[in-house]
Amino acid sequence: METASFVDIRRNPTRTISVGTTRIGSAAPIAVQSMTATRTQDIAATAAQIRALADAGADIVRVAVDSAKDAEALIEISREVDANLAVDLQENYRLASILAPHVAKLRYNPGHLYHHERQRSWQDKVRFLADTAAAHDCALRVGVNCGSVDPEKKSKHAPSDSISPMLESALEHCELLDRIGFTRYCVSLKDSDPDHVIEVNRRFADQRPDVPLHLGVTEAGMPPEGIIKTRIAFEQLISRGIGDTIRVSLTVPNDRKAEEIAAGRRILEDIAAGRVRSVVDYGLQTLNIISCPSCSRVENEAFIELAEQVRDMTRYAQDHDITIAVMGCRVNGPGETDDADLGLWCGPNFVNLKRGPESLGAWSYDEILPKLREELDRLIADRCPAQSRPT
Ligand code: SF4
């Protein structure tokens, strides 16, 4: 469904880093990536999955490695595939030295640097990883995860505060990498709760707008719920210029893994076109028309035409900082329109109009546009009496 012209999203001015043939950062389009779910030592299956992901358009494919045997397998796989490979170093960070010549990016988790060689400081381990990456033309990702946060950081905060330890850990690693002089890195802050993902990434981007961000919701689940959860987090972040590469993590059988790439691309396209499920503010201070991407819950196809008509009819108000949301169903429409200045949600043969959370009534599909115009004029007059136009 094409209901919107593309929104000019202003990306955060991050530095841009190379990962093989892909670039991550504000000077490059948002990269879409995925991770293999096969046993890494099953070389044929893992190579086949990497090819399937690359064929589906993955810019980067990540492979987990936790043992010398896994590492050997990945080295063999790297010879068989033509993809930008990232290795996910689990607890065994030292494997970086044998893998770096064969991959484009090393991902480490600050919370996992405590498990091996306990006598060695985490700072030393990061120096080793940065030196290894630099020597072999690799990028790094500092991958902070809610389920395995640096225990020192966790102990400083209340158990109910899962955000601060993640944030502090990421900032501390950035600070060390900068001090070492290694700046070819990005950061991820992942949680299974989309609201946490939004908050922690917003706070990080406020403090480090220069660092490219990899966005993801962990354990998002099966489609469609997993996609919806991820979409909600991405909508709120990407609309505000936060996020330089994404991964949609879905629980799907191995032969459907490429769906992660299709889902990621679809979410990016929808955000860029204003087709969103949650009310987003693109921060543009102009008229912001958003409409949901539509799904099987739409009860009247006229919703799609209505979304286009709303866009056309409201062009005269382009210079006003007003958000109008058009949602396709009565299941999510009533709640999702609460945060918009004016909201429309569509039933089988009527359309409900709201001003913020207040319901103004329901009208037929033929009657709703003049009602919306009345309300829009009223809103403009309330906010900006001198510039308002009579209806
Ligand atoms: S608002 Fe309703 S119709 Fe639109 S995408 Fe959400 S659930 Fe589907």
pLDDT 10s digits, 165-209 = 999 999 999 999 999 999 999 999 999 889 999 999 999 999 999
CA 316 to ligand 1 centroid distance, Å = 27
CA 291 to ligand 1 centroid distance, Å = 9
Give Cβ neighbours of residue 136 (< 8 Å, ≥ 6 apart).
100, 101
Domain that holds residue 57: 17-272
Is the shortest distance between the CB of 307 and ligand 1 below 6 Å? no
Is the shortest distance between the CB of 295 and ligand 1 below 6 Å? yes
* Domain-located, residue 8: no
DSSP-based three-state secondary structure for 258: coil
pLDDT tens digit sequence for 120-159: 999 999 999 999 999 999 999 999 998 888 888 989 999 8
Same domain (yes/no): 318, 187: no
Which of 272, 307, 323 terminates a domain? The answer is: 272
User: 23 φ, ψ to 5°?
Assistant: -120, 145
- Given a cut of 90, is residue 32 above it in pLDDT? yes
Is the shortest distance between the CB of 331 and ligand 1 below 6 Å? yes
pLDDT tens digit sequence for 308-364: 899 999 999 999 999 999 999 988 889 888 889 999 999 999 999 999 999 999 999
Contact 3, 273 (CB under 8 A): yes
Same domain (yes/no): 267, 318: no
CA 329 to ligand 1 centroid distance, Å = 6
DSSP-based three-state secondary structure for 362: strand
Contact 251, 210 (CB under 8 A): no
pLDDT tens digit sequence for 236-250: 999 999 999 999 998
Amino acid 385: pLDDT: 66
Is the shortest distance between the CB of 300 and ligand 1 below 6 Å? no
Same domain (yes/no): 194, 247: yes
Same domain (yes/no): 363, 237: no
Contact 270, 7 (CB under 8 A): no
CATH code of 164's domain: 3.20.20.20
* Domain-located, residue 9: no
Same domain (yes/no): 76, 202: yes
Give Cβ neighbours of residue 285 (< 8 Å, ≥ 6 apart).
321
CA 328 to ligand 1 centroid distance, Å = 5
* Domain-located, residue 135: yes
- Given a cut of 90, is residue 211 above it in pLDDT? yes
CATH code of 362's domain: 3.30.413.10
Contact 190, 166 (CB under 8 A): no
Is the shortest distance between the CB of 44 and ligand 1 below 6 Å? no
* Domain-located, residue 280: no
Question: What is the count of structural domains for the chain?
Answer: 2
* Domain-located, residue 12: no
Same domain (yes/no): 252, 328: no
Contact 277, 332 (CB under 8 A): yes
CA 333 to ligand 1 centroid distance, Å = 7
- Given a cut of 50, is residue 98 above it in pLDDT? yes
Tally the C-alpha atoms within 13 A of residue 22's C-alpha that lie toward its C-beta: 25
Q: Please state, in angstroms and rounded to a whole number, the distance separating the CA atoms of residues 2 and 141.
A: 36
CA 49 to ligand 1 centroid distance, Å = 32
Same domain (yes/no): 44, 192: yes
Is the shortest distance between the CB of 45 and ligand 1 below 6 Å? no
Amino acid 321: pLDDT: 92
* Domain-located, residue 164: yes
- H-type alpha helices, 146-258: 151-155, 163-180, 194-207, 225-238
Same domain (yes/no): 322, 192: no
Sorting pLDDT into bands at 50, 70 and 90, what band is 4?
very low
pLDDT tens digit sequence for 285-306: 889 888 887 777 888 989 889 9
- Could you tell me the maximum CA-CA distance found in the chain, to the nearest angstrom? 75
Same domain (yes/no): 243, 181: yes
Is the shortest distance between the CB of 384 and ligand 1 below 6 Å? no
Amino acid 1: pLDDT: 38
Task: Print burial letters for 237-271: b (CB count within 10 Å at least 16), e (below 16).
Answer: bbbbbbbbbbbbbbebeeeebbbbbebbbebbebb
**Average predicted confidence (pLDDT) for the chain:** 92
Same domain (yes/no): 109, 220: yes
Same domain (yes/no): 226, 322: no
Pairing of strands 351-355, 342-346: antiparallel
- Given a cut of 70, is residue 5 above it in pLDDT? no
Backbone dihedral region of 360: left (phi > 0), alpha (psi from -120 to 50 degrees) or beta? Answer: alpha
Which of 272, 296, 317 terminates a domain? The answer is: 272
**Ligand 1 pocket test target in 229, 270, 298 with most atoms within 8 Å of CB:** 298
Same domain (yes/no): 75, 186: yes
- Joined together, the tokens standing for residue 7 give 């929104």
* Domain-located, residue 11: no
CA 327 to ligand 1 centroid distance, Å = 6
Is the shortest distance between the CB of 293 and ligand 1 below 6 Å? yes
Amino acid 386: pLDDT: 59
Which of 272, 296, 327 terminates a domain? The answer is: 272
Is the shortest distance between the CB of 294 and ligand 1 below 6 Å? yes
* Domain-located, residue 2: no
